[in-house]
Structure 1
Amino acid sequence: MRYLLISICFLFVSCGSYPKKQNFQLDNSVSENLANPYFSDETKDYVYKASIDVYDKHFGGLLIIKKIDKNNHRVAFTTEMGNKLFDFTFIEDDFKVNFILDELNKKMLINILKKDFKVLITEKPKVSNSFKKNNNRIFETTIYNKTHYYFFNESQLTHVVKTKNGKEKVEFLFTEISANFADQISIKHNNIKLEIILKSITQ
């Protein structure tokens, strides 16, 4: 009986919400207007030197993100010689694979890349809760039916965390930020061997 009670207690603790585990304080006074500015300028071609490591494979080249219109983005990954590795279109919640290299053409990987890039380009996700912790404002949102937390230090978006069952599954980190532009971006998956590193080569 003692072990059963301990197991039940452990289950409740381990299944606690992410805000509770992180000691977030609910803050209804915080504005619920959330804006991700990093890929929102239609006049810019966002070009990054990219490194994608998935399991035991490495892919390097250039990642180009272009806002075509409102809620319409094109995301392309090429070699530095200009050969396409993949080319995606996002319009609202619709997603289209224009091209993908056979070596990357795995349904699970495409779905993961789709979700990762959707987080990067979503400008105004709907906020369901707002919190604060130290100097951070945190907004709880849902993208593709998955819970994400957007962390702002003052007015700058510094990172995003995708969670499941109260645990961090994917971390998006934005660094060297200036004028609504993140010079470096990293996306790290904690449950699979997948990491994407982006370093800007233009502004």
Structure 2
Amino acid sequence: MRYLIISCFFLIVNCASYPKKQELILQNTTLNTITNSYFSDVNQDYVYKAAIDVYDNHFGGLLIVKKIDQGNHRVVFTSEMGKKLFDFSITKTDFKVNYILEQLDKKLLINILKRDFTALVQENSLVNKSFTIENNQVFQTSILNKKHYYYVSKQLNKIVRTGSLKEKVQFLFSDISNNIAHNISIIHSNIKLEITLKSIY
């Protein structure tokens, strides 16, 4: 009987929603949208020294993000020698692969990169719910039909994507100045994929 009670307890905990697991406190808000301004300037070329580690493969080089116009970004990743590894166009309604290295040209990986980079550059997202925890306000949004939680303490410092009630991906922003996050980490918890970006401008 004791074993059954313990098993039921762990089942309930594991099935709890992300806000409950994180002990987020629901609050009322009049905020309709949450803004990620880190890639919002059309006059700015965002250039990062980048490393992508996917399973046993390591790719290093430069990641360039350019806002073309409202809701339209270009994301290009090149090797340090200038060889293009991938080139994506991202709009509010479309994700286009302009080029991708054959070694990376896997449907599953492309879909993951689509979700990652769409979340990274999306400037405005509708707020569905609002929470608080410690010094952060947390805003629940939906991007490509997946729940995302924006953690804001004076400025956006983290985005968490969830799925099946579990945390799937963390986007961590640090060393922030003039609306630029100079250090960005994208860390997946369910697959061996990590992207690290360090601004060189």
| TM-score, normalising length: structure 1 | 0.94
Question: Displacement, 1:30?
Answer: 5.6
Instruction: Return the alpha-carbon distance in structure 2 between the equivalents of residues 13 and 87 of structure 1.
Output: 41
Question: Displacement, 1:35?
Answer: 0.6
Question: Displacement, 1:9?
Answer: 3.6
**Residues 16-37 of structure 1 deviation map (CA, whole Å, 9 limit, x = unaligned):** 0111111111110463331100
**Residues 91-119 of structure 1 deviation map (CA, whole Å, 9 limit, x = unaligned):** 21211110011111111111111100001
Aligned residues: 201
Show the counterpart of 1:186. 185
8 Å CA contact 1:71–1:91 kept in 2: the answer is yes
Amino acid at match of 2:108: M
Show the counterpart of 2:104. 104
Show the counterpart of 1:34. 34
Question: Displacement, 1:82?
Answer: 1.6
Show the counterpart of 2:63. 63
Instruction: Return the alpha-carbon distance in structure 1 between the equivalents of residues 33 and 86 of structure 2.
Output: 33
Instruction: Return the alpha-carbon distance in structure 2 between the equivalents of residues 186 and 115 of structure 1.
Output: 15
SS of residue in 2 equivalent to 1:34: strand
Give the alignment's Cα RMSD to 1 decimal: 1.4
Runs (5+) with no aligned partner, structure 1: none
Higher mean alpha-carbon deviation, 133-142 vs 164-173, is at 164-173
Show the counterpart of 1:51. 51
Instruction: Return the alpha-carbon distance in structure 2 between the equivalents of residues 29 and 89 of structure 1.
Output: 33
8 Å CA contact 1:161–1:169 kept in 2: the answer is yes
How much identity, in percent, do the aligned residues show? 60
Show the counterpart of 1:136. 136
Show the counterpart of 1:199. 198
8 Å CA contact 2:63–2:75 kept in 1: the answer is yes
SS of residue in 2 equivalent to 1:81: coil
SS of residue in 1 equivalent to 2:111: helix
User: Residue 168 in 1 paired to residue 171 in 2?
Assistant: no
**Residues 46-101 of structure 1 deviation map (CA, whole Å, 9 limit, x = unaligned):** 00000000000000000000000111110000012221000000121211110011
Show the counterpart of 1:85. 85
**Residues 105-145 of structure 1 deviation map (CA, whole Å, 9 limit, x = unaligned):** 11111111110000111111111100111110000011111
Question: Displacement, 1:2?
Answer: 5.8
Instruction: Return the alpha-carbon distance in structure 2 between the equivalents of residues 2 and 198 of structure 1.
Output: 49
| TM-score, normalising length: structure 2 | 0.95
Question: Displacement, 1:4?
Answer: 4.7
Instruction: Return the alpha-carbon distance in structure 2 between the equivalents of residues 187 and 2 of structure 1.
Output: 41
